[in-house]
Structure 1
Amino acid sequence: MNRRFLFLCLFVFPLIAFAQTGTIKGTVQTNNKKAAASASVRLKGQKKATITDNEGSFVFEQVEAGIYKLEISGVGYQLTEKEVTVAGGETTEVNIEVTELQTQLTEIIVSAGRTKETIDKVPASVSVVGYKTLQQNLTITSNPGDILENRVPGLAPSTGLSSNSGQTLRGRSLLIMVDGVPQSTPLRNGAMDLRALDPAVVERIEVVKGATAIYGNGAAGGLINYFTRAPKTGKLFNSQTSVGSTGSLVNNSNSMGGRLSQMFYGNTGKLSYVLSGVYEQTGEYKDADGDVLPPVYGLGETDSYNAFAKLGYEFSPKHKVQASYNFFSSRQTTNYVTVNGDYKTGKKTSATEGQSKGVPQGVRGNHNLGVQFSGETGVANTRYDADVYYQSVDNIFFFSEAFVGGGISRILSKKTGARLVLNTPLTYNNFDANFTYGLDAQRDVTSQPLVDGRVWVPEMDMFNLAPFVQTKLTFFDKLVLKAGVRYETVNIGVDDYATLPSRNTTTGVVTPAMDVKGGTLKYKALVANAGLRYNLSDYFSPFVSFSQGFSVSDIGLVLRSARVNDIAKINTEAVIVNSYETGFTSKIKNIRFEATGYISTSSLGANSVYNNGAFVVVRAPEFIYGFELAADVQVLKNLQAGVSYSYVEGKLDANNDGDYKGQTDEYLPGQRISPPKIAGHVDYAILPGKLNVLVQYTGIMSRNRFAKNSAGSYDPYKAPVKAYNLFNTSIGYNFNASTSLNLGVENMFNENYFTARSQWGAFNDSYTKGKGASYRLTLNVKI
C-alpha cells in the first residue's frame, strides 16, 4: 500500500506543479504597425528575459501563476511596460505596442559599431545629417562639402572646390564611405572622395569623429558614411521630379546653369526598388566682385551625372537581399585658364578666356556596385549581414608644369571586397549584451599615372584581411560599456619603377628620375577601442572613450618622391592614432546640449609639406587636441534652431624627444589644422505645411601660428587665416502635397573673402576668393 501511495505521489505531484505554471506568448509591434524585431523583453521579478524574433514574437514557459509586468526595450523603441496575468496550466497571449523614438537623443545609427544602435548608447561623438536637412540644403548647393561644413562640428571649412584637400576631421584625414563601401584612396589620397555621389540619392549622412578602430585603414580621423535612398512607402509606384536653375546674383552673365533630377521608387509585397537619374550643368562661378573664379579644381562650367539603382527582395521575414549600383561623374569643360595671383601683395588668382591644356578635370567616373544579404541565422538570435562590392574611380587632375614637358595626372583605383558581420544579442534580468563580430577582406589596386601614359606613382596592389569583434554591455538600461578589437593584416605589392623627373616651377631646377626597386610592404596591427557611457538622466549623460585608428600613410606620395633606390629604404611605416574623448549630453525640456573634448596622438605622423617645389612627407610624432560645443533648441513647434562651436589645435614633435615645446617643434600646418568655426541655423515654418524658411550661418575665425619667411611672405600651408562670415538661406513654398517651389541663396550678403584653403595655402596659383552671392530656384513635383 505504501509503495502504491509513493508511486502515486511521484506521478501526480509533478502534474500539480506543472498545473501551477503557465506560458506567456506575445507579439511586439511598433506604433507604425511594424514588427519590433530584436527587442528585449523582461519578466520582472522572475529573472527571465528574452529577445523578440524577426516577426516581433517571444515566449516565456513555466512561469509561476500570478500577476507580472513585462518590460520591453530596444534600439529605437521607447521603454514600455505591460501587466500580464498568468494562470496555471494555461497560455496567456499578449499583443504589445511600443513607440518608435524619433528624437535626436535616440536617433538610430549604424556607423559607430556596424550594427543598429541609438546615439544615446554610443560612448562617442556622432553627427547625423538627416533627410530633411539634406533636402533643404540641396536647394542651396549640391556640393556635399558645403552642406557638411555647417552641420558637422569638428569638420574643417569647405574648400568650395571639387577637391576636399584640407577639409579634415579633427585635424586628421577621414574615411569616406557609401553604404559602408570605402570611397577614399588612402594609398594615394587624391582628396576628391567627398563628392562621391549626388546628394539627391542620399537618405542620411553619419559622421563618426575621432580614430575608429572597427573600420580599419583610412579612418584615422573618423569617417563620413553616406546612406543611399530606400523606399519608405507601401505604394508600388512613386515619382519625385526636381527641375532647377542656378546663377550668380552679382554678375549673371554666362552664370546660368540647370539641374534635373528624377527618381522612381516603391515597394510591394517582397519587392522594393529605387531608380534615380541626376544631371546638373553649372555656368560660370563668380566671386563677390563678379569676376569669374579660376578653373583649377573649380565647380563652375561643370557637367555632373549620377545614375542610381537599388533593388531589394525579401525571400522571407528572416532573409532578404539587396543590390545597388551608383555611377557619378563630374567634369569641367571651361573656356578659361588660370591667371596666377600674388599672395604676398594680396592679388587674387583670377581667370581669363583661353583654351585649357589637356583633358577636362574632375571625376571621370566613380562606380559602386554591391550585393548584400541579411537576415537571421536561426542560432541564438544571431543576425547576419554579408556583402560583396566593387568600387572604381578615375579622377583627372589639372595640367601642371611641374612635370618635365607638362602633364596631367590621374588617380586610378579599383576595390573589390567581401564582408561578413554577425550580431548576437543576449539578455538577462538587468543587463543586455551585444556581440558584433566578423571579417573584412579587401583588395585595392591604386596608381597615379599621367594621362599620356607616363607613370608617376606605380601600381600599388594591396590586400587587407581584418577580423574584428565588438562587445556592448548595457546595465539597467543606463550604463553602457563598449569595447572591441580589430586585427589588421595588410600586404602591398609594388613592382620596380622609376620616378618621374620633375621641375621646380619657381626655380626651374629639374630633379632627375631614379630607378627604384619594388617589393612587398607588410603590416600587422592590433587596434582596440573602449568606451563608457552613463545615461544618468536626460539632464546629464556623460561618456568617455578610447579608440585607435590604423592608416597606411599616403604610400603613393612617398613613392613618387623617393630619393633612394629601394622601397625597403623608405619610411612607409603605418600610422597608429590613439584618440581619447570625453563629453556629455544634456536634454532640458526642448534644449539638447553636447560638449566634447578630445586628444589625438600618434607616435609616427604622416604630415605632407611643400619643399623646393615638391610634396614630401614628414614622419614625426603628432599631438592634436580640441573641443566642440553644440546646442539644438525646439523654440516653438514650428521653430527650431541650432548652434555649434569647434576648436582644434595640433603640434609636431620634430626632434622626437617626447616634448612638443622645443625650439624645433612647431604647430601643424593649415591643411591639417583648421581655424575655429561657429555654425548655426534657424528653421522656421512660418505657415506650417505651406511656407518654410531656413537660414544658416557659418563663421570661420582666424588662425595665425607661423612667422613670415626670409622673403617677407609665408611658407606654403603655413599662412594665417583671416575670419569671414557666410549666410545661406532656403525659402520653400508648398502649393499642395505634391508640388513645391524652393529658392536658395548662397552667400546671401555677398561676403568678399578668400577661402580658408587659399589663405593657409599661400600659393600664387590658388589664392582664390570664395563664391559670391548666387541663387538656386527649384521646382519639386511628387506623385
Structure 2
Amino acid sequence: MMSAKAWLWAVVPFLALLQGVKPADAQVSRLPEIESISTAAGTVVAQAPPTVERVNITDVQVRSTENGLALQLTTAPNAALKPIIQTSGNRWIATFENAALALPSGQSFQANNPTAEISQVQVQQVSNIQVQVEIISKSELPNVEIAPTAAGLSLTVLANGKTSSDTATRSDAESEEEEVVVTATRTEEPLKKVPRSITIINRQQIEEQSRLTRNLGDILANTVPGFSAPTQRTNTFGSTLRGRGISVLIDGVPQNGNLQSLPTQLTSIDPSAIERIEIVRGPNSIYGGQATGGTINIITRKPSNQLTSTLELGTTTALTGSEDKFGYNLQYQLSAKQGAVDLTTGIGLTTTGTFYDAEGDRIANSVSPDDTQILNGLLKVGVDLDPQQRLQFTATHYNNRRNNNLTEDASIDVIPGIQKARTLAIDGLQILGTTEGSYIRNTNVALDYTHQNLFGSKVQGQVYYRNNAFRGSGIPFDGRDFLGVIGRTPGESEQFGTRLQVNTPFNPDKTLQLLWGVDYNNEKSFQNIEVFDPEAFDASGGSVFRKIAERTFVPRYTVNDLGLFAQLQWDANDRLNLSGGLRYVNLGLKIDDYVTINDQAVQGGDRQFDTVAFNAGATYQLSDQLSAFASFSQGFSVPSFGFILREPPSGFTRVTDAIRLTEPQKVNNYEVGLRGRWSTVQASISGFYNTSDLGEDFRLVNNNLEIVRAPQRTYGVEATLDWQATKTLSFGGTLTWQEGENDEDEDGNFLALNSITVPPVKLTAYVENETLPGWRNRLQLLYSGNRDRAFQDGVDGGKISSYVTLDFISRIQLGQGELQIGIQNLLNTQYFPVYSQYFAPFFDSANYAGQGRTLSVTYRVTF
C-alpha cells in the first residue's frame, strides 16, 4: 500500500499541472489591411490614423518557441491594431492608440523570464485610449516581427542573430525557425534535408534536465531515443547508441580516447557550459572513427551582443537519506561583445552529497557521481576580422574528484540468491605516499578560423589539444589473485589534431555543393599501476595502503588517425535532396617493446589499418510538413588497444601480429524513416538495421571482462512525438525498441547480445503545463522494460526486470530571477538500473540500487 505521504508527493504536481489549462482560441478571418512589420532599431514603423474605432484586446498569450518567443494579442474580427514603435537600450516598446485591455484578469499582463533571452513581457493600459507592449531583453535589443493573425495580432521575438529570412511562416501566421543542424553533415543544414535520425537538445532542455542530474550520460538517457537507460555512473561503460559505441565531440574536438580503461567521454564537461547537443543516431564516419553507434556533438555556450551575467545558486538533497546528503551548486557565466570582439566565460563549483536508494540505504556504487567535487570552466573569445572572417579561441576544463572511505562489501557475493549491494566503511583508512581519491580531469583547447567566401567557398579550419587524466578507484584494490599486487591504476591520454573543411558550391543557388577536407588526430596514452605494501595492508586489516612502487600497466603507445573526405549535397528540386560521400581512413598504432604486469614479454612495432567508408542518403518532401528519408552509411572503429595491451591473450607476443583481437570493425547501416513538423505536432519514426563482419562486444569469464570479436547485427525502431495541445499544455515522448546478436562460433547460429550492449525497450513520456504566467511544471516518465532473450541464450546471468521512474520539474518566476525545483524519482520507487541487474548474477556487490526521491532547488538570475 502506498502511504499517505507518498500519495501526497504524487498528487500535488498533477494538481498544479491541471490548473490554468485553457481551450485553444477560436479561429476567425485574417485582417488583410495590416502588413508584417520587422524592427530591430528605434524607428517609427507604423502610426495609427487620427480617427479609428477603439479596439478591445480580450486576451494576451505568451509562449516560447524554438525561434524565440510568440506574443498573441486577441481582438474582435477585422479590428485593426497599428503600433507606434520605440526602443531604448534593450527595451522594445509598441504603443497602440485607441486600444483598451479587456482581460479577465484586469488591466495589465506580465510574464517574467518567458525565455532564456527575454527577461520580461508587459502589456498594460497606459491611458484611456492607449495600450503599451514592452519587451525587455536580458542582453541586446529584441528583434520583433509583427503580423496579423486569424485571432488578432502576433508579435514574434526572434532569437539573437535571427531574421525573418531564417523563419518559415506557419499556417496560423506565427513565425517559427527552421531547425538547422551541423553535426550530421559538418555544415549548417536544415533538419528536413538530412537523411538521418537526429535528436537536438537545446539550452532550455539542458537547464530543465540539470535540475534532476548533472550527469550528462543520464540526461541523454532521459531524452534521446536509441540511447541506453540511465546507469547513474561517471564511467560511461554501459552507455550505447543503437547497441554500439558512441563518438563524443565538444565543438568538434573528439573526446574518445583509445585507452578506454575508464571511458569518460561523457564525463568531460558540465551542463552549464553547454548551449546545445546534437545527436546523430546510427553509425557514420563523417567526423572519423569510433562512431559505430552514433555521434554526440556538444556545442558550448554562445556569446550575447551586450554585457550579460548569469548567477546560479542551488542545493540538492536526498529525501530518503540520513546524513551527508546535501550537495551544493554555484555557477557564474559572463557574456559580452564590444565591437568586433565577443567573450563568453563561465566558472562553476558543484559538490554532490551522499546518494540513497528508496529504502534509505546508501548506494554502493564505486563510480557513482555522489560525494564528488566538480570544478568546471569555459572561456570563449571570438574576433570578427571582417564581415567574412572570424577567429575563435575556446578552452574548457572539467575536474571531477571523489574522496571517501567507502567501498562495496564483497562479502555478500557468497550469500545465496541475489543481494542488494551494500557499502563497507573502512575505519582508519590511510593512503600513504600518494594522493587520495579518484579523479577525472579533462581539458580542451581549440582555435577555429572561418572564411565565409574564399574564392567562392566557405573554409573552416581548427587546431586543438586535449588532455584527459583519470584514476577510477579512490581506494586501492586487492588484486593479488589475478595481478599479483595491491594496486590502483591512474592513466592519461594526450591528443592534438587539426581539421580543415571546404564547402564549394557549383552554382549560384547553391543547390549542388561539395564538402571536402582532411582531419588528423594524434593520441599518446599510458596507464600505470600504483603498488602498495601487502604487509602493511594485512597487518592493518585492510585499512592502511602504503605506496611502495609504480609500474607500467598499459605501456605508452601512439595512435595516429588520418582522414580524407568528400561529401556531395544536391537539392535536385524543391522536394528531393540527395547526398553521398566517402571517407578514407588510415589508422596507425606505434608501441615499443614492453613487459606486462604479469611478466609477459611483448615485442612492439608499428601497425597500419585503412579503409574507405561510404554513405548515401535521400530525403523527399511528401508535403510541406512531412518528409521521408532513407540512407546507407558505414562506421569504422578500432578496439581499445590499451585494454588489449594491458592483459593480452596467451600467445600474443608481437604487436605486429594480425590477430583477430586487434582488427578494426566496419559497420554497414541501413535506415528509413518519416519526419513530420506541423504547427502544433512534431513526430518522427525510423527503422534501422546494421551489420558488421567483425563486431566488438564483451563477456564475463571468471568475473573478468573479455573482448568478443564476431559477426554482429543490431536492428530496431525509434519514434518521437511532441504535441502542443494548447498554448499552455504540451505532451510528448519517445520509444526505443532494439535487438541484436552475434555469431561467436561463426556457424550461422546467432545468439543475443548482452543486455548492456542491447538494453530493453525504453519509453519516455512527459506532460508540461504553464500553470500560471511565469510558472511552468513538467512531469516526465521513464520506463525500462523486461528482457530475457539474452538469458535464454545463456549470455546474461539472469533476466532483466522492468522499472518505472517519475520525475518532476518546476520553474517559477521569482523577483528578478527564476526558482527551479526538481524532484528525481518522485514516487520513491525502489529499482535497479539495467547495468546493475546485468552484473548481479555474477557478483552481488555490483547490484546497486537506483536513487530514491531526491530534491534539487536552484535560483537563477540574469543581469
Using the size of structure 1 for normalisation, the TM-score is 0.82
Match of 2:786 in 1: 702
SS in 1 for 2:716: strand
AA at the equivalent of 1:288: A
Cα distance change on mapping 1:686 and 1:443 into 2, 3 Å: same
Distance 2:851 2:332 in 1: 28
Q: How does 1:42-61 map to 2 (within 5 A)?
A: none
8 Å CA contact 2:673–2:687 kept in 1: the answer is yes
Counterparts of 1:97 and 1:401, CA distance in 2: 65
The aligned residue for residue 558 of structure 1 is 644
Alignment of 1:98 with 2:165, yes or no, is yes
1:300 paired residue number: 370
Identify which of 276, 283, 300 aligns with 2:346: 276
- After TM superposition, give the deviation of residue 729 of structure 1 in Å: 1.1
1:706 Cα deviation after fit: 3.5
Change (3 A) 1:476 1:703: same
Cα gap change, 1:349/1:357 in structure 2, threshold over 3 Å: closer, same or farther? farther
5+ long unaligned stretches in structure 2: 1-36, 42-144, 146-162, 170-174, 532-549
**How far off is 1:234 after superposition?**
2.3
Q: Take 1:128 and 1:104, find their aligned partners in 2: how far apart are those partners?
A: 16
Q: Residue deviations 1:592-621, cap 9 Å, x none?
A: 221100011000112122223432222110
Corresponding position of 2:554: 457
Contact 1:432 1:474 in 2 (8 A): yes
1:108–1:357 CA distance, 2 compared to 1 (3 A): farther
Counterpart secondary structure, 1:603: strand
Q: Which residue of 2 aligns with 1:259?
A: 329
1:445 aligns with 2:524: yes
Aligned to 1:70: none
Contact (CA 8 Å) 1:150, 1:680: kept in 2 or not?
no
In the TM superposition, what is the alpha-carbon distance from 1:104 to its structure 2 partner? 8.8
Contact 1:295-1:334 within 8 A present in 2 as well:
no
Q: How far apart are residue 587 of structure 1 and its match?
A: 3.4
Q: Does 1:473 align with 2:561?
A: no
**Alignment partner of 1:677 out of 744, 757, 762:** 762
- Among 650, 655, 660, the alignment partner of 1:567 is 655
Aligned partners of 2:447 and 2:463 also within 8 Å: yes
Alpha-carbon deviation of 1:723? Answer: 0.4
Query: Please, which moves more after superposition, 219-228 or 420-429?
Result: 420-429
Alignment CA distance shift 1:284-1:466 (3 Å):
same
SS at the partner of 2:838? helix
Larger deviation: 297-306 or 99-108? 99-108
* TM-aligned CA deviation for residue 517 of structure 1: 0.8
Tell me the secondary structure at the aligned position of residue 769 of structure 1. Answer: coil
**Which residue number corresponds to residue 685 of structure 2?**
595
Q: Say whether the 8 Å CA contact 2:719–2:736 is kept in structure 1.
A: yes
Contact 1:539 1:587 in 2 (8 A): yes
Q: Within 1, Cα distance between the matches of 2:455 and 2:168?
A: 29
Q: Deviations over 1:385-433 (max 9, x none)?
A: 111000010111123333322211233111100110111234467x811
Match of 1:748 in 2: 826
Deviating above 6 A after TM superposition, structure 1's stretches of 4 or more consecutive aligned residues are 29-33, 102-105
Q: 1:476 Cα deviation (Å)?
A: 2.1
User: Where do residues 506-585 of structure 1 align in structure 2 (5 Å cutoff)?
Assistant: 513-562=599-648, 563-564=650-651, 565-569=653-657, 570-571=659-660, 572-585=662-675
Q: CA deviation at 1:364?
A: 3.5
SS of the residue aligned with 2:789? coil
Count of aligned positions: 667
1:108, 1:539 → 2: CA distance? 16
Taking the aligned partners of 1:259 and 1:369, their CA distance within structure 2 comes to 25
Question: Aligned-pair distance for 1:683?
Answer: 2.1
Alignment correspondent of 2:470: 395
Amino acid across the alignment from 1:531: G
Secondary structure at the aligned position of 1:406 is classed as: strand
Give the Å deviation of 1:451. Answer: 3.8
In the alignment, the residues of structure 2 paired with residue 109 and residue 480 of structure 1 have an alpha-carbon distance, to the nearest angstrom, of 16
For residues 406 and 759 of structure 1, the distance between their equivalents in structure 2, rounded to whole angstroms, comes to: 28
Moved more, 194-203 or 717-726: 717-726
Corresponding residue for residue 379 of structure 1: 455
Deviation at 1:314, TM superposition (A): 0.7
Q: Does the 8 A contact of 1:623 with 1:652 survive in 2?
A: yes
Cα distance in structure 1, aligned partners of 2:801 and 2:292: 28
| Contact map agreement 1:730 1:743 (CA 8 A) in 2 | yes
Amino acid at match of 2:834: A
Deviations 1:252-279 (A, max 9, x none): 4220111100111111221111111110
**Equivalent residue of 1:207, what SS?**
strand
Write the letter of the residue equivalent to 1:442: N
Deviation for aligned residue 1:435: 1.4
Asked whether the equivalents of residues 554 and 606 of structure 1 are also in contact (C-alpha less than 8 Å), the reply is: no
List alignment gaps of at least 5 residues for structure 1.
1-28, 34-77, 79-95, 502-512
In the alignment, is residue 234 of structure 1 matched against residue 314 of structure 2? no
Could you tell me which of 723, 727, 752 is aligned with 2:806?
727
Offset of residue 360 of structure 1: 4.8
Within a 5 Å distance, the mapping from 1:86-485 to structure 2 comes to 98-101=165-168, 106-188=178-260, 190-231=262-303, 233-235=304-306, 237-340=307-410, 341-342=412-413, 345-354=417-426, 360-380=436-456, 382-398=457-473, 399-402=476-479, 403-427=483-507, 432-452=511-531, 453-485=550-582
How far 1:108 sits from its partner (Å)? 1.1
Q: Could you tell me the percent identity over the aligned residues? A: 28
How far apart in 2 are the matches of 1:614 and 1:545? 38
- CA deviations 1:484-507 (Å, max 9, x no partner) are 111011111011112223xxxxxx
Q: C-alpha deviations, 1:344-386, integer Å up to 9, x for none?
A: 6121111132256755554441110011011234312x11111
Q: C-alpha distance in 2, partners of 1:317/1:337?
A: 58
Q: Would the aligned equivalents of 2:183 and 2:280 in 1 still touch at CA under 8 Å?
A: yes
1:436 to 1:635, Cα distance in 2 relative to 1, 3 A: same
Structure 1 residue 732: deviation in Å? 1.1
Q: How far 1:560 sits from its partner (Å)?
A: 2.1
